[in-house]
A and B are shown apart, each in its own frame.
Chain A
Amino acid sequence: MPLLECVGLSRSFGGLRALRDVDLSVEVGEVVGLIGPNGAGKTTLLNLVSGLDRSDSGSILFRGEELSRSGPERRAALGLARTFQSGRTFLNLSVRDNVLLGAHARRAASRSGAARWAIELAEALLRPASLRAEEERLEAEAAELLGGFGERLAPRAADKAYVLSYANRRRLEIARALASRPALLLLDEPTAGMNPSETLETLEYLRALKARGQAMLVIEHKLPLVLGISDKLVAMDEGRKIAEGGPDEVIRDQRVVEAFLGKASPKAGPEAGHMGPASEED
């Protein structure tokens, strides 16, 4: 059974059909790259999977549970975590608090069903030993996650996130998503806005994650990165899936080349390094 299996997902905004009947699956431990030109529907697809948006039709099966009508809370609890294209960190909170918030769905209070409001309240006012122990454990985990980025984040753990550089905010977002110990990590252009050396560093980091068995669904425009980590590529255009398969096979697919480069320039290969501009608004 695949970890994630989307069948027939469609989503329209007014007259614009952003996503038409798309199937997608991710296996346990697999890394799937999602490519396509601007407006292809990649971020729309990610929003449907992460629960920030609802599909008009189709199903999303994650670890055997139908999620297309569930809220983001349930999805996070089941092990879905995401990052955002625009890098959405909590700027006025400390770097450490950002990571701790990533573990929200794993806290004992969050997993206590209807009693969790009473527990949240009691914990906030009384600060019992159980809470202190949990916080200590999560803080140790957060320190480890921050340490995973070398000296980039760990020395700034107590600083507010707004002091971080743009690239470091993107790193922090990945750390925050990982704090939930996700079964599937959804990355929306993790290296958008990064320079080549930062991109390379991120590629190494994601490779190490993959080696530890982390399943990922990655939207990315930078081909070297997406080719460097993906087991499988899914190419989209105008809301449709146009190709799927091994990375080498997909980027040589005639429809994919046409979708990216237009029919007029058959010679320019996708090896150029960039497909489309580095950022996308869809």
Chain B
Amino acid sequence: MGALLQSWAGQVLNGLVLGNVYALMAAGLALVFGAARLVNFAQGSVYMAGSYAAWFLIARLGWPLWAALPGAAIAGAALGLAIEALAVRPYRRSGGVAPLLATIGAGMMLDGLAEVLFTPTPRSFPNLPFTARYSLGPVSIGGLDLLILCATALCALGLLAFLKLTRAGRGLRAAAQDLEAALQMGVRAESSGAAAFAIASALGALAGALVGLYYNFISPSVGFQAGLKGFTACVLGGLGGIGASMAGGLVLGLGESLGVALFGSSYRGLVSYGLLLAILFLRPEGLFGRRGRGVALSGGREIGLGSFLPLRGAWRPSKPLAAALALAALALPLANPGPYVLQVLAGAWISALFALSLSFVAGGPGIMSLGHAGLMAIGAYASGLLTLKAGWPFVPAFLSAGLIAAVLGAAIAFPALRLKGHYIAIAMLGLGEIVNQVILNWDSLTQGALGLAGIPAPRLLALEITSAGGFYYLSLAVLGAGFAALAAALRSPLGRTLRALREDETAAVSLGIGARSYKTLAFAIGAFFAGLAGALTAHLYTYVSHETFGSSYSILGVTMAILGGLGNLWGALLGALSLSALPELLRFAQGGRGIVYGAILLLALRFRPQGLLGSE
């Protein structure tokens, strides 16, 4: 009994500590959202950079902790100013989801840069300070716990004082309440945006440094999860309110620790993303937000794709050229390029199918599906499990994988498709993540963290496909079928209806078009082909795990679709080939790749938002 109480008290303390850190992240996100109406997807990467800054100052330069923590915060602020100047301000006028995607690009570049500078291997602090523990009744509290609680409380007080007492702070609060009115009253959008980014990034970097110390674990890949935790805290509290977001951080920290105490530590992610989706679906205005101000569901300034994409000049090859390109793809293995090139190209065809699916849901009904890789994971596990465990032959298992991805994808997206603007972007991101968390935790079905190994080779009747050439043709055939189906759907009356929803949902609804039903149908169609792409990947590599289709793969797919031109299927092919096969064949280092992908996303959004081949 005493041990149980102790472990619970320990979890509550742990929840408070992490909750305070989430509160810092959330305060930063809320500040930026208030000042610029932008969900800053780079915040997680700034957090990661903050942990490296602290590590570098302490481990390499030998700074004492009391100097290194402010140092990390200052480095974070500088980084925030740079992100604002390079990835936010130039995209102000683009409207719609462009600035949001630009911050994703900036985050990718930062993550890649950290990998290049510090290698992907996690780091730890050489002489961890504050390792002493003190007993407080049933609770044993560590020096680091105390440090984090004090530091975060100090930051929160400082932030509140700044917001209440200074002119700049009042301007930020005014902007958070009513941006237009604040601008008319003389709050300067640019300087208040920059100030918000600097403060938010300082807080984010400090949060990263503190958590790095807490777990003594510094890695370039922690940013995404940290950012998503921050969004979760923000949405839990009510997007936009600074105090509410910080309260949301505490609720998230305590809720997570409670979940861990009840179910075990691997459930941490599942609990927090479950909370995220639950709050988005049930009470999108947040626990502390006012009901009926309906920003999440309608009204306000909706951000959709229609307003952002200059849908001009979609290029499509003439029929002879299209036939020639298809023939070239069919004839390529005859030139005997070797199994490596064929395998890379087979992977590229699968990526292209994924990009087509994304381009269809974005270019049709205008859903920016930021967690699309989760659908691939569903397809991969479905086909893998049906062949491995249920002993199904390849063809029915493969087709069922598409259907399962379509049905499950539609079922989990249906509640999200009611949301609008930033909320749907966050929900989609959360959907992709929660699929992988469920896979990780549903041991009895998915073998959890082990993943599925030994997935059998595809067999068509008597023909077993094991060679690289065989895989090349199989994935090319599936890609061709997917292309034909999606192109037909876009040309049909259904495609017309979907585009109307993208262009002006209110007008479409007034014509009797059921917005959510049609979006769900389009999402299911896209999910079917994403599921097939996942199944192909599973059989190609014979192994799949909950990490195979992570968020970075989703973002890569979005980049491919945008680079080619949303809604333009030929563009999606070109985007996928340029971003998947080329870097592989040119043998970029992994980190270098992140920098290149992020830069391509930023440049495409800035200079050619309609994509290389134009959108339609």
Q: Which residues of A come within 8 Å of B, CB atoms?
A: 14, 50-52, 71-73, 75-77, 81-82, 84, 88-93, 97, 100-102, 104-105, 107, 109-110, 117, 120-121, 123-125, 127, 131, 135, 176, 180
**Closest residue to A107 on the B side, CB-wise?**
B493
- Set of chain A residues within 8 Å of B513, measured between Cβ atoms: 73, 101, 104
Neighbour of B507 across the interface among A89, A100, A105, A120, CB < 8 A: A89
Q: Taking A77-B512, A125-B485 as contacts, is the C-beta distance between A92 and B499 under 8 angstroms?
A: yes
Q: How far is the CA of A7 from the CA of B495 in the complex (A)?
A: 39
Q: Once the chains bind, are B521 and A120 in contact (CB under 8 Å)?
A: yes
Q: Which of B494, B499, B511 contacts A93 (CB 8 A)?
A: B499
Alpha-carbon separation in the docked complex, A77 to B306 (Å): 26
A73/B494 in contact, CB under 8 A = no
Complex Cα distance, B616 from A92, in Å, reads 8
B509 within 8 A of A: yes
CA distance A125 to B311 in the complex (A): 24
* Most chain B beta carbons < 10 A, residue from A72, A75, A127, A131: A72
Q: Mark B497-510, 1 if CB is under 8 A from A, else 0.
A: 10110011011111
Q: B512 to chain A: which residues have CB within 8 Å?
A: 72-73, 75-77, 104-105, 110, 180
Max chain A CB contacts within 10 Å: which of B489, B493, B496, B504? B493
Q: How far is the CA of A131 from the CA of B616 in the complex (A)?
A: 23
* Smallest beta-carbon distance B442→chain A, Å: 29
Indicate whether A88 sits within 8 Å of B507 (C-beta atoms), given known contacts A93-B500, A101-B497.
Answer: yes
- What would be 14 A-B contacts, judged by CB atoms less than 8 Å apart? A73-B509, A73-B514, A84-B506, A84-B507, A84-B510, A88-B504, A100-B496, A101-B500, A105-B511, A105-B512, A109-B493, A124-B494, A131-B493, A180-B512
Q: Return the CB mask of B502-544 against A: 1 if under 8 Å, else 0.
A: 0110111111111001000100010000000000000000000
Cα–Cα, bound, A73→B514 (Å)? 6
* A84: nearest chain-B partner, CB-CB: B507
- Shortest Cβ-Cβ A-B pairs, 6 listed: A76-B512, A105-B512, A124-B492, A88-B507, A90-B503, A124-B494
Q: Which residue of A lies closest to B495 (CB)?
A: A124
Q: Which of B508, B514, B517, B616 has the most CB of A within 10 A?
A: B514
Known: A101-B500, A104-B513, A124-B488. A90 touches B493 (CB 8 A): no
B489 adjacent to A125 (CB under 8 Å): yes
Residue of B nearest to A100 (CB): B496
Q: Taking the nearest CB of chain B, how far is it from the CB of A111, in angstroms?
A: 10
Q: How far is the CB of B311 from chain A (nearest CB, A)?
A: 4
* Contact B306 A92, beta carbon cutoff 8 Å: yes
Per-residue contact bits, chain B 423-454, to A (CB 8 Å; 1 contact, 0 not): 00000000000000000000000000000000
B500 touches A90 (CB 8 A): yes
Q: Which of A77, A101, A107 has the most chain B CB within a 10 Å cutoff? A: A101
Interface string of B476-488 (1 = CB under 8 A from A): 0000000001001
The residues of A that contact B494 with a CB separation of less than 8 Å are 120-121, 123-124
What distance in Å separates the Cβ of B501 from its nearest Cβ neighbour in chain A?
A: 9
A135 to B497, CA, bound (A): 13
| Residues of A with C-beta under 8 A to B503 | 90-93
When chains A and B are docked, how far (Å) is the Cα of A141 from the Cα of B493?
16
Q: In the assembled complex, how far is the CB of residue A107 from the closest CB belonging to chain B, in whole angstroms?
A: 7
Q: Are B496 and A101 in contact (CB under 8 A)?
A: yes
Which chain A residues border B511 with CB–CB below 8 Å?
76, 81, 101-102, 104-105, 176, 180
Assuming A73-B513, A73-B514, A127-B488, is B506 touching A93 (CB within 8 A)?
no
What residue of chain B has the Cβ atom nearest to residue A90's Cβ?
Answer: B503
Chain B residues, CB < 8 A from A90: 499-500, 503-504, 507-508
Given A72-B512, A101-B513, output 20 extra A-B contacts at Cβ < 8 Å: A72-B509, A73-B509, A73-B514, A84-B507, A88-B504, A89-B504, A90-B500, A90-B508, A92-B306, A92-B499, A92-B503, A93-B496, A101-B500, A104-B513, A107-B493, A110-B512, A120-B494, A121-B525, A127-B492, A131-B493
Contacts A72-B509, A101-B511, A176-B511 given; does A92 touch B496 at CB 8 Å? no
Tell me the smallest distance from the CB of B285 to a CB of chain A, in Å.
14
CB distance from B278 to the nearest CB of A (A): 25
B contact residues around A84 at 8 Å (CB):
506-507, 510
* Residues of chain A contacted by B496 (CB below 8 angstroms): 93, 97, 100-101
Most-contacted residue by chain A among B485, B495, B511 (CB, 10 A) = B511
Cβ of A92 and Cβ of B495 under 8 Å apart?
A: no
Assess A88 versus B506: contact at CB under 8 Å? Given A101-B497, A105-B511, A117-B521: yes
Distance from B301 Cβ to chain A, minimum over Cβ atoms (Å): 14
* B490 nearest CB neighbor, chain A only: A124
When C-beta atoms are compared, the residue in chain A nearest to B485 turns out to be: A125
CB-based contact B510/A52 at 8 Å: yes
CB distance from B403 to the nearest CB of A (A): 12
* Chain B residues whose C-beta falls within 8 Å of the C-beta of A102 in the assembled complex: 511
Residues of A within 8 A of B506 (CB): 52, 84, 88
- Smallest Cβ distance from A205 to chain B, in angstroms? 20
